[in-house]
Amino acid sequence: MAEFTMELNDEQKEVRDWVHGFAAAVIRPAAAEWDEREETPWPVIQEAAKVGIYSLDFYAQQYFDPTGLGIPMAMEELFWGDAGIALSIVGTGLAAVGVLANGTEEQIGTWIPQMYGDANDVKVAAFCSSEPDAGSDVGSMRTRAVYDEATDEWVINGTKTWATNGGIANVHVVVAVVDPEIGSKGHASFIVPPNTPGLSQGQKFKKHGIRASHTAEVILDNVRVPGSCLLGGKEKLDERLARARERARYGGERVKNAAMATFEASRPAVGAMAVGTARAAFEVALDYAKTREQFGRPIIDNQGVAFQLADMRTSIDAARLLVWRASWMAVNGKPFTAAEGSMSKLFASETAKKVTAQAIQILGGNGYTREYPVERMHRDSAIYTIFEGTSEIQRLVIARTLAGLPIR
């Protein structure tokens, strides 16, 4: 087990500086254009693939960093560049992690390379879980997968929403209900290969922020996938369902808590994204306050501005420390006895919204225009309090954990 430390080692610093350099040289200059276009920034993703940032190898190396700091460090730097473009770069990782966590070695070797493509022909993947009536309440999922024994195929029907890369992905990973009697334990994940009949893109959402990231509905109408596309295989699924049914009879709440623990462990990465956006806005505001003069002196000499900047920096550093603590705990198997994962996501998300709003205020009228990036950063920051569990859900998780109550 790695000791918790706030000091990055030389290798981590090298990776951090490399990712930061890419964000500064490639992502940030392209941010305004792709925000206006509201399209997937394929040229930027291709550049990320050429240097090795858009690749399974890069994310695997960061994920298996024993300190737990590899992923949050990389996320902070990418999202410092721009949240919309960064989400287009890292969105495929959601689907890849789903396959890595649940798939067989053969499935991992077959499908993950197809998710990324290569530097000359980049591909993206989509993880499809949320539904119109099942966001925070995963137990209300309606998409069904039924096994057709005669053909050894699974038939999937339903509608997914808020899917990053939904409809444009080469590979879709779809979560569906296979046994509705046991709640979220009756879910399974399926690979939907490229060009599978019955899968189509529904509504593409025109969003308030992160507009360079493609978000859409995915419609599944009698989608048939081979039995080999069930992640983990049918034998493993049958065994898991049998255990879940038995546990549900004698300890249903314990089963639900185990499911929530999975979500809890993934939330610090979103917190790191929020820290990156907050830091970017703070740096713009700080530079502006040092150079903008009113009444014959820089506005940072005014206590009202200086105190805002002090609070902004303090909140950013506090958010980063919460993210790092939770990330270290997750990698080293430390239980979240006080919902530390939700704490990190909650505080970092709320910090991003507040800091970006303060940055606009410090820039005044300039901050309200698209001539300066803080307007975009403020729009982008709103998503952090919504996806991967709203701030209200985070507070509920924290409160029920502290009270020793089951998390439903």
Check 47, 131, 217, 388 and give the catalytic one.
388
Here the tokens at position 139 are 């137990």
CB distance 210 to 83 below 8 Å:
yes
CB distance 217 to 163 below 8 Å:
yes
Please name the helix (run of DSSP H) or strand (run of DSSP E) that holds residue 136, with its range, or none.
none
Q: Exposure of 227 by Cβ count < 10 A (0-12 exposed, 13-18 middle, 19+ buried)?
A: middle
Q: Is 217 a catalytic residue?
A: no
**167 backbone dihedrals φ, ψ, rounded to 5°:** 90, -30
Residue 386: strand, helix, or coil: coil
Question: Measured between alpha carbons, how far is residue 17 from residues 316, 321, 372 in Å?
Answer: 19, 19, 25
Residue 244: strand, helix, or coil: helix
Residue showing tokens 């956006």:
277
How many helices (H) and strands (E) the chain has is answered by 12, 11
- Catalytic residue numbers, as ranges: 388
